[in-house]
Chains A and B, each alone.
Chain A
Amino acid sequence: MIAVALRNLRHRPGGFVATFLSAFLGAALIMAFASLLDTASGADAASNESLVTTASVGGGWCLVIVAFAVTSTLTLAVRQRDQQFALLRSVGATGPQLRRMIVGEAVAVALLASAVAVPVGWALGRVLVDLLQNTGQVASTIDPVFGPVALGAGFGVTLTGSLVAAVATARRTAARDRRRQRPLLRRIGAGLFLLIGANCALLTATLMDGKGIDAMQTAGQAGIWAAIGLALLAPELLRLVTAVLGPVVRLFGAPGELALSGPRLSSAVMPVLLFTGIATGTVYMQGIEDRAAAGQIQPAYAQDIQTLNYVVVGMVTVFVAIMLVNTLIAATTHRRREFAQQRLAGATRGQVTGMVALEGVLITVTGVLGGLVASLFTVLPFGSARAGRVWPDASPAAFGIVAAIAVVLTASALVQTARRTLHGPATAAVRA
Chain B
Amino acid sequence: MTDVVSLEALYKTYDGGVTALDGVTASFPAGSFTAVMGPSGSGKSTLLQCAAGLDRPTGGRVFIDGAELTATKDTAMTKFRRTRVGFVFQDYNLLPSLTVEQNVVLPLRLAGRRADRHRVREILDRLGLGDRRDELPERLSGGQRQRVAVARALLAQPAVVFADEPTGALDLRSAREVLTLLRSVVHQHGRTVIMVTHDPVAAAYADSVLFLADGRLAGSLRAPTPDAVAERLAHLGDRVGVPA
Footprint of B on A, CB under 8 Å?
253-254, 257, 261-263, 338, 341-351, 425-427, 430
Contact = CB atoms under 8 A, between A and B. Distances in A.
Contacts, number: 62
Nearest to A257: B109
A341 B94 contact: yes
Given A345-B107, A346-B106, 8 more contacts: A253-B109, A261-B102, A346-B82, A346-B111, A348-B78, A349-B74, A426-B54, A427-B55
A347 B74 CA distance: 10
B87 interface: yes
B13 to A, nearest CB: 15
Contacts of B97: 261-263
B223 interface: no
Nearest to A342: B95
Interface of A is mostly: helix
Contact of A346 (B74, B81, B94, B98): B81
B49 interface: yes
B153 to A, nearest CB: 10
A430 B94 CA distance: 11
B80 to A, nearest CB: 11
Contacts of B1: none
Chain B's interface size range is 20 to 34
A358 to B, nearest CB: 14
Interface string B79-95: 10110000101010111
Contact of A347 (B78, B102, B103): B78
Given A425-B54, A425-B55, A344 B93 contact: yes
B152 interface: yes
A349 B98 contact: no
B95 A254 contact: no
Interface in B42-76: 49, 54-55, 74-75
B18 interface: no
A401 B96 CA distance: 38
Interface in B98-120: 98, 102-103, 106-107, 109-112
B64 to A, nearest CB: 15
B102 A345 contact: no
